[in-house]
A and B are shown apart, each in its own frame.
Chain A
């Protein structure tokens, strides 16, 4: 027994010693440097139909950048399923890319880690100044009052896409502008044997986007001004209930949509099974699904009454991709040059046209390419009636907790269980308790 104990103690000591050295690791060394001025690593998010498509889109642009500056960019397109985990591990270890794309709703959470280069006035001046960007896009780059953690790259907004044939068959002459009209039109479409509206009940982020806008319309916020969660206000409960009721009570969303999480609702829409879908910047997707541009129409997403605007007339969240520079970069100047290149008018026009998104850069936005059928509504929404998701460090937990609550409620609705104000409130209450204590 003595031998065992001795061996155990030896092993434990060794482990602890190793652990201590490892624990001390991380990346205490703060800022970046310019040690390797000729190379950059860039993690792009998957914006196109597949990773290979993205590589084909971006590669020529990166070559162009290399020709201009002599800096070689190593590109990796990271799938969405891995992106946040990769960024987290990079943050933890200090080993990451120089420049990366992030979902703009992650800005505040990632900002809290301190791993991203803050875009103060000096940094902004390197890429032509903060004024070049649209305000709504800048609203989703970090906690208000702090220097942004990232720079807007692609912007998107929600809109109502409808199938022209389905509308004609149901005798609908103009797209609905309010939720009541949407429900009424949805029922007309259901009567023709198609589904009224598509939803992604198991997609947590999409659930959040939808109930966030509805909460705005009910005058509610999911976070108080000092960043505490407040999920159970009457407005928030009403918002979540209204969204789930589209399936539970109004029956304009097919119950099978409760399990959708991989954009099956878009595929249904492209195949003509569904008449309407509320989505962000879907034109490129429809095309890749084989739907002709002339087959669908687009209108502003609905409000409770009146016309889209600010406050309770909000009808979209500010969706989009931001570009962030990793603080530990070994090529600080090169990274800034690269961000400048990617946010230049020319690249903005080209890339946003390819991906069907809207440039967050004012001067690029005025290009006629973004005034087409597909993009005019989106641009208008972004300019006047889109709001950024809560810019709080706990945004990620919020998406998980409330997104799951909505998912569970959809599952209840699909199983035929009643969705009541009480059941919605109970779910949101539970979600709120799971948020980190303050």
Chain B
């Protein structure tokens, strides 16, 4: 198997599992497995694409593989049925800001844990891990209350604003991000930052000039994770936002109204909002593949 047709950049580091050619049975099982899996993965995607091109009568009737008639009407209607553009912008702002903040904060925290020894280190890491076990429902109402109280005390409106949501989401992704980044940073040789320190960089200089670039794949991976966490969350967004700050995850529900479910518009809107994300995701994919491992391995 030496075809170079699709060779991704990472293939240089890629170990061949066996120097020998794989047996024929393996090739067949691979073909079968990958075909089935591709079908499983793409089935809903096909349904989304085809339904989004059907008139409402078609989608609320019996399923058909091929639309009886194609229409782009749903793609026009989606913008007026709900303020999709506004929700989209909100989601981008919220998820984007949460991602950036989350990554920066996680980098600092992970650097401290990876490179320093200090009292309470273990408490910190254990606590961070344990937050992954909290059921979201447990702290939805208390969190809301805290935000309101902070708002009353300081005048900073956290609930109902994008700020509150950003704060919430960035914290949601922090634990896993810190946890992964500690692993990545540990795998960056310490000699590198020491050399930087000798060269007169401060510890932060060493972090940003040496450690961060070396762990870039991991940082990208963590960023993607943080983004997707914020992008898809439904529960907190449904009570913490108002009409002006509502995010897509909640806003898409607007296509299911008192009268009817506009399936074709739901699908069209889902596709429209997914395209930029999927595209961005795929651009970053290579870093991701090279990146996720180190953190987990440690």
Contact present between A and B (CB < 8 A): yes
User: Which residue of chain B lies nearest to A41 when distances are taken between CB atoms in the complex?
Assistant: B242
Binds B, one of A77-85, A119-127, A302-310, A413-421: A77-85
Say yes or no: B238 contacts A81, CB within 8 Å.
yes
Binds B, one of A19-27, A30-38, A365-373: A19-27
> Taking the complex as formed, is A263 at the interface, i.e. its CB lies under 8 A from any CB of chain B?
yes
B222-249 to A contact mask, C-beta < 8 Å, 1/0: 0000000000000000110011000000
* Residues in chain B near residue A112, CB distance under 8 A: none
Say yes or no: A95 contacts B148, CB within 8 Å.
yes
Say yes or no: B127 contacts A11, CB within 8 Å.
yes
> Taking the complex as formed, is A49 at the interface, i.e. its CB lies under 8 A from any CB of chain B?
yes
| CB of A181 to closest CB in B, whole Å | 29
Say yes or no: A285 contacts B123, CB within 8 Å.
no
C-alpha spacing A92/B57, complex, angstroms: 43
Binds B, one of A190-198, A264-272, A338-346, A382-390: A264-272
C-alpha spacing A47/B53, complex, angstroms: 28
Binds B, one of A1-9, A63-71, A213-221: A1-9
Say yes or no: A25 contacts B254, CB within 8 Å.
no
Say yes or no: B250 contacts A267, CB within 8 Å.
no
Say yes or no: B81 contacts A82, CB within 8 Å.
no
C-alpha spacing A50/B142, complex, angstroms: 32
Say yes or no: A263 contacts B259, CB within 8 Å.
yes
Say yes or no: B239 contacts A77, CB within 8 Å.
no
Contacts A4-B123, A76-B242 known; A93 to B144 CB distance under 8 Å?
A: yes
| CB of A147 to closest CB in B, whole Å | 27
Say yes or no: A7 contacts B120, CB within 8 Å.
yes
* Residues in chain A near residue B80, CB distance under 8 A: 52
Chain A residues with a Cβ closer than 8 Å to the other chain, count? 42
> Taking the complex as formed, is B131 at the interface, i.e. its CB lies under 8 A from any CB of chain A?
no
C-alpha spacing A98/B270, complex, angstroms: 34
Say yes or no: A263 contacts B258, CB within 8 Å.
yes
| CB of A185 to closest CB in B, whole Å | 25
> Taking the complex as formed, is A94 at the interface, i.e. its CB lies under 8 A from any CB of chain B?
yes
C-alpha spacing A78/B151, complex, angstroms: 23
> Taking the complex as formed, is A46 at the interface, i.e. its CB lies under 8 A from any CB of chain B?
yes
C-alpha spacing A410/B134, complex, angstroms: 35
Contacts A81-B238, A93-B159 known; A4 to B254 CB distance under 8 Å?
A: no
Contacts A76-B243, A95-B148, A271-B57 known; A50 to B257 CB distance under 8 Å?
A: yes
C-alpha spacing A81/B257, complex, angstroms: 9
C-alpha spacing A80/B259, complex, angstroms: 12
C-alpha spacing A22/B151, complex, angstroms: 12
> Taking the complex as formed, is B129 at the interface, i.e. its CB lies under 8 A from any CB of chain A?
no
> Taking the complex as formed, is B214 at the interface, i.e. its CB lies under 8 A from any CB of chain A?
no
Say yes or no: B257 contacts A49, CB within 8 Å.
yes
> Taking the complex as formed, is A262 at the interface, i.e. its CB lies under 8 A from any CB of chain B?
yes
| CB of B263 to closest CB in A, whole Å | 10
> Taking the complex as formed, is B132 at the interface, i.e. its CB lies under 8 A from any CB of chain A?
no
Cross-chain contact of A4 among B122, B145, B253 (Cβ < 8 A)? B122
> Taking the complex as formed, is B60 at the interface, i.e. its CB lies under 8 A from any CB of chain A?
yes
| CB of B6 to closest CB in A, whole Å | 43
Cross-chain contact of A3 among B119, B148, B159, B238 (Cβ < 8 A)? B119
* Residues in chain B near residue A4, CB distance under 8 A: 120, 122-123
> Taking the complex as formed, is A86 at the interface, i.e. its CB lies under 8 A from any CB of chain B?
yes
Contacts A25-B149, A52-B83, A95-B148 known; A288 to B239 CB distance under 8 Å?
A: no
C-alpha spacing A284/B127, complex, angstroms: 55
> Taking the complex as formed, is A380 at the interface, i.e. its CB lies under 8 A from any CB of chain B?
no
* Residues in chain B near residue A22, CB distance under 8 A: 142, 145-146, 149
C-alpha spacing A26/B160, complex, angstroms: 17
| CB of B125 to closest CB in A, whole Å | 11
> Taking the complex as formed, is B61 at the interface, i.e. its CB lies under 8 A from any CB of chain A?
yes
> Taking the complex as formed, is A312 at the interface, i.e. its CB lies under 8 A from any CB of chain B?
no
Contacts A22-B149, A81-B253, A82-B250 known; A289 to B260 CB distance under 8 Å?
A: yes
> Taking the complex as formed, is A172 at the interface, i.e. its CB lies under 8 A from any CB of chain B?
no
User: Which residue of chain B lies nearest to A18 when distances are taken between CB atoms in the complex?
Assistant: B146
C-alpha spacing A8/B123, complex, angstroms: 7
C-alpha spacing A11/B120, complex, angstroms: 11
Contacts A22-B142, A77-B243 known; A95 to B259 CB distance under 8 Å?
A: no
B141-162 to A contact mask, C-beta < 8 Å, 1/0: 1101110110110000001100
C-alpha spacing A94/B127, complex, angstroms: 32
User: Which residue of chain A lies nearest to B253 when distances are taken between CB atoms in the complex?
Assistant: A81
Say yes or no: B148 contacts A93, CB within 8 Å.
yes
> Taking the complex as formed, is A376 at the interface, i.e. its CB lies under 8 A from any CB of chain B?
no
3 residue pairs, one from A and one from B, having the closest CB atoms: A93-B148, A7-B120, A76-B243
Apart from A3-B119, A3-B120, A81-B238, what 16 extra A-B contacts exist at CB < 8 Å? A22-B142, A22-B145, A25-B145, A25-B152, A49-B259, A49-B260, A51-B82, A81-B256, A82-B238, A82-B250, A86-B239, A92-B141, A95-B160, A262-B260, A263-B260, A288-B259
A-B contact pairs, 12 of them (CB 8 A): A4-B122, A7-B119, A22-B149, A47-B258, A49-B258, A50-B254, A51-B81, A79-B257, A81-B253, A92-B144, A267-B260, A285-B260
